[in-house]
Chain A
Amino acid sequence: MGKKKWHLQALPWYIPLFILVVWQVLGSTGLMPERTLPSPIEVFQAGWKLTTNGELAAAIGISTWRALIGFIVGGLLGFVLGLLNGVIPLSEKLTDSTIQMIRNVPHLAMIPLVIAWFGIGEEGRIFLVALGVFFPIYINTLHGIRSVDPGLIEMGQVYGLRHWQLYRRVILPGALPSILVGFRFALGIMWLTLIVAETIAANSGIGYMAMNAREFFQMDVVVLSILLYALLGKLSDLMAKGFERRWLKWHPHFAKEGSQFKSG
């Protein structure tokens, strides 16, 4: 039973491990020149060097900080507006079509404009991240609130739930699965926006580190940056999944997911 469980948990890591081995073999045998793609060991050595001189920690720190601030600003705005528009029809009539119009503009297309406005300061990047994060959270919050079973709301009214109690006990929990889907989407968009913004206009952070390394042809640092993004993306996805497990315990889907390994 224990061995079986270990096998199942290792399953998602087989393919990454396999790619890593093949990659190393290709690099060591010289089949793939270092100028095209440095081998994993070289990337690891570059990572070690940057860790010891503190550059890596500084770059990750500043990038994470930007991502978080942008996410909080955009996410909160999206959540509040989604909530308002889901509950108050007048608010929805007033703002929804404007929001939908802005949503259809790819927010990365605004980079030239953002550089013109903010230069390459922090505001511009945070603005872009916030803009990117806003829409998935807004749309999914609105959708979640709209899809709450009206029968449950009616039941809440019959049982004397008023205003705030009705939101807290019926509407918000009912909208939560959809809100968390938006949360996961937004996390992906957050990293994507930040990479592009840091690559084009920045003087610090992971993206800047990658662009700077390209100038000096340090391919190992470029690859390291790309791997870092993959890792950070995976970490935030794990975080989102953790929230889902914690808050959607009641949901049959997540209840099943939890017991899947036990029964297997």
Chain B
Amino acid sequence: MASALRQRRLTIQERLKRGAQQDPYLDALPEEPSLQADADESRESNAQDSARDSTTDSTADSTKQSLRNSLQHGRPASGISIELDAVSKRFGSKQVLRSIQLSVQPGSFVAIVGRSGCGKSTLLRLLSGLDQASSGSLRLQGQEVQGIHPATRLMFQDSRLLPWNTVLDNVKLGLASTGTGSDDPRRRAYAALELVGLADRAGEWPSVLSGGQRQRVALARALVVNPRLLLFDEPLGALDALTRIEMQRLIERLWQRRGFTAVMVTHDVSEAVALADRVILIEEGQIALDLQITLARPRVRDAGFAHFEQIIFDRVLARDEREQHGLHVPLYDI
């Protein structure tokens, strides 16, 4: 028992030592045979679809068709672009977001940081379609956001697994929106669980899993349809430090492999620098800093890393100093 524990601890240390070069979960599956089979299938169906599309000759239809295909088959769908134009959000008399102007490249990884209550989670809810902007325009892949986009997935801070469904059924829930057309949901859910290294827990209830395992199941549920936009609402906030770093690496690997657009809200600056191509700092409902992180991946916590962290911290603290002329001393969680 004790030796097993020691061994487990050792492997965690090894993982950390090995750095991001080797991912414990992904390397366990050398070639992901099931997903590759999917890719082959979809290549075939692509040919059929393109034939069908040329006869209908309707661009709207074909984009819908390709979207449906990318959801139904395991074909890696490329990320979608996001354009925000003068987006504002008001709750009653409280202005939460003020005229946000933002454009995100398809397939990039954007981190949004800021104090609690700065509006960063509201921005994410607008992107997910759960809330609607009070004014301005918000487009995904050139299309105005209307309600919840079928190619968007959202990961919450708590895993939000259904306690009355097994782990596998919880992952299958991610396929609900694709209807009955998707082939063998069980196999696909299983493949997604393998991706996060939890295939052996497929038959268990979520209540017996640890917090980190639950978040991994939630990640599998989000990835099972190959989303084109994945939104993270502080998904690692409640995890311990080691699990957190493991999860960050897992998310980075999966993002690199799948090529979806990722937007992550976090209050952890080093998490933002570790993962994102671009860090956006929001203060009082406005973009206060928009920083490209030009570090090479996989990222190591070296001087360059610290440099970027420092820039962000400086910007946040500068505001503190400004505010000290006022009467209140702000609390911050950044």
In the bound complex, CA of A248 to CA of B207 (Å): 13
> Which residues of B, 144-189, contact A by the 8 Å Cβ criterion?
148, 150, 152-154, 156, 158, 160, 162-165, 173-174, 176-178
Contact of B130 among A154, A169, A170, A249 (CB under 8 A): A154
Which B residues touch A157, using CB under 8 A? Answer: 130, 148
Check if A169 sits within 8 Å of B128, measured CB to CB. no
In the bound complex, CA of A158 to CA of B231 (Å): 11
Indicate if B221 sits at the interface (CB-CB under 8 A). yes
Check if B160 sits within 8 Å of A151, measured CB to CB. yes
Indicate if B205 sits at the interface (CB-CB under 8 A). yes
Contact of A255 among B156, B173, B207 (CB under 8 A): B207
Min CB gap B90→A, angstroms: 21
In the bound complex, CA of A234 to CA of B165 (Å): 31
> Which residues of B, 121-145, contact A by the 8 Å Cβ criterion?
128, 130
**Residue of A with least CB distance to B231:** A158
A-B contacts at CB below 8 angstroms, number: 56
Secondary structure of the A contact surface, majority rule: helix
Among the interface residues A169, A174, A249, A255, which one has the most CB atoms of the partner chain B within 10 A? A169
Check if A170 sits within 8 Å of B162, measured CB to CB. yes
Contact of B165 among A158, A250, A252 (CB under 8 A): A250
Check if A160 sits within 8 Å of B205, measured CB to CB. no
- On chain B, the number of residues with a Cβ less than 8 Å from chain A's Cβ atoms is 22
Check if A151 sits within 8 Å of B148, measured CB to CB. no
> Which residues of A, 153-204, contact B by the 8 Å Cβ criterion?
154-161, 165, 169-170, 173-174, 176
Indicate if A5 sits at the interface (CB-CB under 8 A). no
Which A residues touch B205, using CB under 8 A? Answer: 249-250, 255
Min CB gap A46→B, angstroms: 48
- Sample (21) of A-B pairs whose CB atoms are under 8 Å apart: A151-B158, A154-B130, A155-B156, A158-B128, A158-B130, A158-B153, A158-B154, A160-B148, A160-B150, A160-B176, A160-B177, A161-B173, A161-B176, A169-B162, A169-B176, A173-B164, A249-B205, A250-B163, A250-B207, A251-B163, A255-B205
Extra pairs beyond A160-B178, A169-B165 (20, CB < 8 Å):
A151-B160, A152-B160, A155-B160, A157-B148, A158-B128, A158-B148, A158-B154, A159-B153, A159-B176, A160-B150, A160-B176, A160-B177, A161-B173, A161-B176, A161-B177, A169-B162, A169-B176, A250-B163, A250-B205, A255-B205
Closest 10 CB pairs of A and B: A160-B177, A155-B160, A173-B164, A250-B164, A252-B207, A158-B154, A250-B205, A160-B176, A151-B160, A250-B163
